[in-house]
Structure 1
Amino acid sequence: MNKFMEFLEGFLLPIADRLNNNRYLTALRDGFMVALPLIIFGSIFVVIANFPFLDKVISEEAFAAYQAALGPASASTLSIMGMFVIIGIGYKLIEHYGLESIYGGVVALASFLILTPQVFEEVNGVIPTSSLGAEGMFLGIFTAFISAELYRFFVQKDWIIKMPSGVPGAVSKSFSALIPITLTLSIFLVIRIVFSFTSFETVQNFIYTLIQEPLTALGSGLPATIIAVILIQVFWFFGLHGQIIINSVFDPIWYALNDQNLDAFQAGEELPNVVTKQFIDTFLVGMGGTGMTLAVIILIFIIGRSRQLKELGKLGAPAGLFNVNEPIIFGLPIVMNPLILIPWLVAPVVVTLITFFSMSTGLVPKPAGIIVPWTTPPLISGFLATGNAWQGAALQAFNLVVVCVIWWPFLKILDKNYYEGENEAESVD
């Protein structure tokens, strides 16, 4: 066991450290965080617009009018979430370099819009919302990275207009950004023109065909999902935030899959994907936090005899109910504790398999693409994430029982060790 631990530590810790300190992955993660409040707002109104049995209570015309009235809430947030992520990435990357971050956000968005194909109608050009959502997500991410780096390059080369000292700060900053922004956007305009002469016609078609489509297909599969889940658990075992590290890589894929399901759900069509952002966040992380530690808290109340575990259960229960599990991770502890390595790794994989096959066989509805706030308690989150389906809540309850069964013998041993240690300490006193 010790040699295995040393191998994992020596192999994984350097990789995790590099990922944590990578400026692009950090900007990507923080960019999604910028968009998160808007995404949650839109998701809430998707739930309200599709409230269960409402179509049976009111007339068909009234229900259609009701959905039409609430539709703009999701159309102006979820449907164009890629646009907010792009602004966030550009902003955060330029902020990392200590430059005027707002220009990183706007130049990233403008560069993306230059590359985005427009549909020309009788009078005006129209940008389809699909290009601003899941379909354009990967192009947006690459564009944000490249445009921010180009802007930084031109600024640090001092290719800027310097205004006299008496000019107001806002005016001076605008003129300072003029040349870097002009050069950056001109480069993207040239790229668009060049691609118009290729068989792909647009950069978006090129990215989607050669990169996004294959990666999305890979990320939606069970093997890649299990690898991601295991890595999350392993990183957390060594005290590293596995969710942040792995999500930095997989979030673009999971969000794209999520958007595809949301479009199908709103259109009343069959949902195409099992694995989505909500598959991970609701049916794995959303049951007490990473590793589904709400089950551990439940077990503590059932079998715990040691004062240490009993106090930990009381401390961790309120937070665990809302999927915050740092008290359990560091108080049990889970970090660097060989005794619980097996259930810590095995339980999430088993739950992933159960959830995947339950949804792929139609026993439980697939995630509807609705972004449920991560602090939503279990059962409620399962109900909402599956489009207000009771089977989602039932699956979460079943999975909690499964995790309890897997953890039972290991937690029993841990509790026994603590209990005997406490008794020995009392006898010495």
Structure 2
Amino acid sequence: MNGFMDKLSEKILPLANALGQNRYLTVLRDAFMLSFPITMFGSIVVVLNNLPFFSDATKGTLGTLFGNGQNATMSIMTVFVTFGIGYYLSKSYDVEGIFGGAVSFASFLILTPFFMTTESGETVSGVLSLDRLGAKGMFIGMIAAFLAAEIYCRITKRGWQIKMPDGVPPAVSKSFAALIPAIITLTVFLVINAIMTGVFNANLHDVIYEVIQKPLTGLGSSLPATLLALFFVQFLWFFGLHGQIIVNSVMDPIWNTLMLDNLEAYQNGDALPHIVTKPFMETFTVGLGGSGMTLAVVILMAFVLKKKQYRDVGRLALAPGIFNVNEPAIFGMPIVLNATILIPWVVAPLVVTTLNYLVMAAGLVPAPTGVSVPWTVPVVFSGVLATNSWLGGLLQVIDVVIVGLIWYPFLRVLDRQVEPSLEQ
């Protein structure tokens, strides 16, 4: 078994390390983290405006008074992501980040239609639709931001800049240095938009949405794709790699887009279109004790296992585990490269996630509303906040019990394997 694991590790680790160190995936992860505190504020506003015991009239009044707390944050998440991509990609090339972010955001806006069609079929010009700055514009925003930042940085690196004398204030000097790269980059996007509008009578927003975003989000919201992503999270963690960061850097654009779709439907009082979203993955996987859903595991270690080694690790890991920080368990047990517990480590999250998906698909438990809940919120509380229902918290409790039942036989085997010298 150990020989097989060593050979597998030799094949997997280089690929996982390459993904973890990839410039574009790292930039994308950082860009989403840039939007995190802003979208978190919007989520808090949505939760407070829609508490279950409020009447519809009260919710309507609160929405009128405080609705901009969500409109100016979560509903325009693509704005922050595009700026973040431009900023962090420019920084990775040692180019002034603030101008890279501004150029990327402006390039995205150049491709964005400044009109919308009302329900009566009337076209209103000179306006931006919120959905194009949120869920519907996410993929075109990311593509435009990466392309714009690449063009801007490459031109800057070639030295095509206006250099000011030494006595000029730095802010003025940097602005002039960014002038030529910014003009060339924005011109490229203006020409692209002109061709799409004048020749094809279309816009890239709708083309990218129909050709790329809808198929990808449809695939990413499926149970098989979710289980595959979760499998790789667990599998990479087993070899000591942060599977959550590696896999999420690929899947976050899809899961966040699905989250915004749900939030829009929830705000409009419509049926939620998706089960799998970013809050689903945070609340009903990581929210059960961290990667691998290990809250049940540390409870069993702390209070059921007999060996002092495991009881000590379990009690040390219990407090962080309540807030879904489980590195003490992963490296203290250890879970990394421990073949005895590979099966429950991989299987338990897959079983629980399948159960959660099915009960939500059957309507027994509401799907997450699209409200972003911090992954450090303890079990039960996070389930209630994510679904706006006590049933979400109850489902988490059931999940913890199931994880414990799956792990228990393997923990007993592990308990017996400890050397006699380690016994109390």
TM-score normalised according to structure 2 size: 0.96
1:306–1:419 CA contact under 8 A, matched in 2? no
Q: CA deviation at 1:374?
A: 1.1
Q: Which residue of 2 aligns with 1:15?
A: 15
Q: Which residue of 1 aligns with 2:298?
A: 297
Q: Which residue of 1 aligns with 2:400?
A: 400
Q: Secondary structure at the match of 1:126?
A: coil
Q: Secondary structure at the match of 2:275?
A: coil
Residues 170-185 of structure 1: pairs in structure 2 closer than 5 A:
170-185=171-186
Distance 1:91 1:176 in 2: 16
The residue type equivalent to 2:23 in the other structure is: R
Gapped regions of structure 2 (runs ≥ 5):
117-121
Distance 1:115 1:104 in 2: 17
Of residues 110, 125, 129, the one that matches 2:106 is: 110
Residues 196-275 of structure 1: pairs in structure 2 closer than 5 A:
196-199=197-200, 201-275=202-276
Q: Does 1:97 align with 2:104?
A: no
Distance 1:200 1:372 in 2: 41
2:114–2:125 CA contact under 8 A, matched in 1? no
Q: CA deviation at 1:198?
A: 4.8
The residue type equivalent to 1:18 in the other structure is: A
Residues 306-385 of structure 1: pairs in structure 2 closer than 5 A:
306-385=307-386
Number of residue equivalences:
419
Distance 2:293 2:199 in 1: 49
Change in Cα spacing, 1:176 to 1:319, as seen in structure 2 (3 Å) is: same
Give the fraction of aligned pairs with identical amino acids, expressed as a percent. Answer: 51
The farther-off stretch of 161-170 and 307-316 is: 307-316
2:383–2:392 CA contact under 8 A, matched in 1? yes
2:259–2:277 CA contact under 8 A, matched in 1? yes
2:301–2:310 CA contact under 8 A, matched in 1? yes
Q: CA deviation at 1:6?
A: 2.7
Distance 1:15 1:303 in 2: 38
Q: CA deviation at 1:26?
A: 0.3
Q: CA deviation at 1:419?
A: 6.3
The farther-off stretch of 269-278 and 114-123 is: 114-123
Q: Which residue of 2 aligns with 1:390?
A: 390
Q: CA deviation at 1:248?
A: 0.7
Distance 1:191 1:123 in 2: 23
Distance 1:62 1:323 in 2: 34
Q: CA deviation at 1:305?
A: 1.6
Q: Which residue of 2 aligns with 1:65?
A: 61
Q: Does 1:85 align with 2:88?
A: no
Cα-Cα RMSD: 1.5
1:200–1:206 CA contact under 8 A, matched in 2? no
2:219–2:225 CA contact under 8 A, matched in 1? yes
Deviations 1:219-274 (A, max 9, x none): 01111111000000011111111011001111111011111111111111111111
Q: CA deviation at 1:11?
A: 2.3
Q: CA deviation at 1:418?
A: 2.7
Change in Cα spacing, 1:26 to 1:200, as seen in structure 2 (3 Å) is: farther
The residue type equivalent to 1:175 in the other structure is: F
Distance 2:27 2:124 in 1: 38
Q: Which residue of 1 aligns with 2:119?
A: none
Gapped regions of structure 1 (runs ≥ 5):
none
The residue type equivalent to 1:19 in the other structure is: L
Q: Which residue of 2 aligns with 1:49?
A: 49
Q: Secondary structure at the match of 1:374?
A: coil
Change in Cα spacing, 1:369 to 1:61, as seen in structure 2 (3 Å) is: closer
The farther-off stretch of 410-419 and 34-43 is: 410-419
Q: Which residue of 2 aligns with 1:420?
A: 420
Q: CA deviation at 1:352?
A: 1.0
Distance 1:103 1:23 in 2: 19
The residue type equivalent to 1:11 in the other structure is: K
Distance 2:86 2:364 in 1: 42
Q: Which residue of 1 aligns with 2:39?
A: 39
Q: CA deviation at 1:187?
A: 0.3
Q: Which residue of 2 aligns with 1:286?
A: 287
The farther-off stretch of 118-127 and 103-112 is: 118-127
